[in-house]
Amino acid sequence: MAQLIPLSRLARLVGKPRSLLQRMAQSGELETFDGHVSLEEVLRHFPDVRLENDKELARVQEIMDKALTKQPSREELPTAAILNERLRALGRDFATAEGRLLHYERVHGWIADKLAAAVESGEATAQFAKQFSGWLRTELASPPAGLERWEDLVARERILRVMTATVTVVPKGQTFEVIGDETILEAGLRAGLPLPYGCSNGTCGDCKCRVVSGDVLKVRPHDHQLSNLEKSLGFTLACSYAAVGDVELEVPLGGVADIPQQTVNARVRQVEPLGGHRIALHLITPRTERFRYFAGQWLEITVAGQTRRVPAASCPCDERRIEVHVACDAAVAAAEGPFSALQSNAEVVVQGPFGEFVLNDESARPVLLIAEGPGFALIKSLLQHALSLERVPSITLLRKANTEGLYQENLLKSYANALDDFAYVPLGPDASEGASVFAALPGGRDSLPTHDVYAAGSADFIAALRAALFAAGLPEAQWRCEVVA
């Protein structure tokens, strides 16, 4: 039986982006079996990858983590209970391999007996039997080419299997990794998937899902009780259970209409001046509450009795952290008005979410993001979501400046430096909408119809851009836009 590795785990083993491996699989260059790749395929396509070079892979991962402004990684060691179960599973794998090896040795002896019987009965010549036995002994005694690399790859894959588990969501096939002491819900949300949940602490049961294959283990207490029928059908609570090994889950991934309206009290972690009258509010929700929204949606924030609808600039994968960009009534330096005068640890009421300008995460097409002025907030949110999903083949971001300038540009430059499949193109305020887009695409104007396009900015900008792109052949189904004043 061939040794199979999930694509997500393979990406970590060979130090390649998962999006690259997915493109290879979609083109037929890399043979896959239900999202898994055989060891033979790995060594055939990546013969020169230095699997033992952990230091270099760690350096690249560190650069990417800093570029994506993720929260500091949690302790990577699983809980004692999960680690025990994974080691037991690894022990069973080892026992199976030892059993097969003993069986193959027995088969080797049987072959010799069969050949002797065939010679005696006249079904085979003595010369054939001698030559075949000699060939078989030589092959079994001589390690095949690349055996050392094979053993190294298997050993590293086994370590990753102990430290992490891969979860596949059916029927759509999305995958994510459970790392350290994460629950299934925590890992799925970190990966950017819209898994259903309510309280996230084991009380409501909204995160209920069915285990199709694999094993899960309870790692958090919960008050919600599953019925005997639900247990017999394999249902579990994603917020309280972790994957012991690789798991398939049947999860009803929701859409915009499935997220309820919420009101959460958050606190200000940081007030970041952006330019002119605009600030970025970095908020954090209580540990027991997590605000549910999609990247690209709007939120309402209330400060000192004043409510304002603002674009989200963060990804829901950032857990309790929310970033919104706010236009203040006066220059930020003047600290006049309830928003520009905000200080760290101040309380803010967050309501929502609103809007349908969200990523089509089922599409396998390259993504083109276009932002003008304050439309950058929503585009930044979509960008971080696309990066967290690791499913998009490539992302190109065009950003047109307005009077406030290109704020947070260092962040985008760090993305471009760290990620092979992301390109950032800043544009001046006088840049032509259509011509700038065509010049930025690697394939030029002709490649535009192969992209999904998301644009946010002023009404005039969106209208002019839409006309230019549709005239160049962009299908309407691949265009999404949002007006941001």
Judgement on whether residues 185 and 252 belong to the same structural domain of the protein:
yes
DSSP codes of every residue in 403-460? TT--TTHHHHHHHHHH-TTEEEEEE-TT--HHHHHHHHSTTGGGGGGGSEEEEEE-HH
191 belongs to a structural domain: yes
Same domain, 373 and 465: yes
Check pLDDT > 80 for residue 61.
no
Say how far apart CA 458 and CA 171 lie, in whole Å: 39
Task: Give the tens place of pLDDT for each residue, 405-450.
Answer: 899 998 999 888 888 789 999 988 888 877 888 888 888 889 999 9
- Whether 66 maps to a domain, the answer reads no
The answer to whether residues 41 and 31 touch, using CB atoms and an 8 Å cutoff, is yes
Helices 54-67 and 409-418: angle between axes, nearest 10 degrees: 160
What separation in angstroms does the CA of 230 have from each of 205, 207, 209, 210? Answer: 12, 13, 10, 9
Residues 97 and 152 in one domain: yes
Please give the average per-residue pLDDT across 217-234, as a whole number. 90
Asked whether residue 461 is domain-assigned, the answer is yes
Does residue 380 sit in the same domain as residue 471?
yes
pTM: 0.75
Among 149, 165, 6, CA closest to 78: 165
Question: Is the pLDDT reported for residue 481 higher than 90?
Answer: yes
**Claim to verify: residue 214 and residue 147 sit in the same structural domain:** no
Domain that holds residue 239: 164-256
Q: For 128-132, 201-205, 252-256, 332-336, which range has the lowest pLDDT when averaged over its residues?
A: 332-336
Q: With both helix axes pointing from N to C terminus, report the angle between 7-14 and 18-27 in degrees, rounded to the nearest 10.
A: 120
Query: Looking at residue 391, which CATH number applies to its domain?
Result: 3.40.50.80
**Residues 35, 84 share a domain:** no
Q: Is residue 229 part of a domain?
A: yes
Quote the pLDDT of residue 60. Answer: 42
pLDDT digits (tens, 9 = 90+) for 353-401: 999 999 987 788 899 999 999 999 999 999 999 888 777 788 999 999 8
H or E element at residue 102: helix 80-121
> Does 113 lie in the same domain as 47?
no
Query: Are residue 222 and residue 272 in the same domain, yes or no?
Result: no
Map residue 397 onto helix, strand or coil.
Answer: strand
168 and 251 co-located in one domain: yes
- Secondary structure of 66-100 in HEC code, one letter for each residue: HHCCCCCCCCCCCCHHHHHHHHHHHHHHHHHHHHH
Pick from 321, 25, 378, 64: nearest CA to 173: 25
Residue 55: pLDDT band (50, 70, 90) is very low
Residue 70 lies in a domain: no
Amino acid identity, position 55: K
pLDDT above 90 for 317: no
pLDDT, the chain, mean: 83
Q: Identify the band that residue 56 occupies on the pLDDT scale cut at 50, 70 and 90.
A: very low
Residues sharing a CB contact under 8 Å with residue 141, sequence separation 6 or more, in sequence order: none
pLDDT-based confidence at residue 48 (cuts at 50, 70, 90): low
- Domain count of the fold of the chain: 5
Q: Please report, rounded to a whole number, the percentage of residues in the chain having pLDDT higher than 70.
A: 90
